[in-house]
Amino acid sequence: MKDDNCIFCKIANGEIPSETLYEDGDFRVILDLNPASEGHALILSKEHYRNLPELPSQTAAKVLPLAGKIGKAMMSELSAKGFNVVQNNEEAAGQTVFHFHVHIIPRYANPDEMLLWKPGKSTEEGLKAVSEKLRKVL
């Protein structure tokens, strides 16, 4: 399924040209236009899915192996010291393009690079309460 109003549908399916690193029947991997660091890549599904909960499990199963392959290439070819795999779901989580994609962000141990989150504090009761809520639907 494609969405005529979706820019990532057009990029993933080659209607809009992009700097493509890799392509197969399920995905196109491109460079992000506003990179967090040099080489910041995006894995786009070729089919239109809003985000991770909509992605079929057969397609989802291929995403992490591909992310690992891209990250490994960033370390060997771009001399990255590591990489982050980031995937935003819904506006509250920073999703701005509502077509499934995964960010692969090479890290060069540069202090200016973004920090993903600031670790907070937990209590045993707090962890237990959250865990009980989630466990019952999983």
Active site residues: 101
CA dihedral 101, 87, 81, 121 (to 10 degrees): 170
Among 30, 41, 43, 105, binds ligand 5GP (CB under 6 A): 30
Among 14, 56, 68, 94, binds ligand 5GP (CB under 6 A): 94
DSSP 3-state assignment of 10? helix
13 counts as binding ligand 5GP under rule CB under 6 A: no
Which of Zn ion, ligand 5GP, none does residue 9 bind (CB under 5 to 8 Å by kind)? Answer: Zn ion
**Site residues, ligand 5GP (CB under 6 A):** 7, 18, 30, 32-34, 42, 88, 94-97
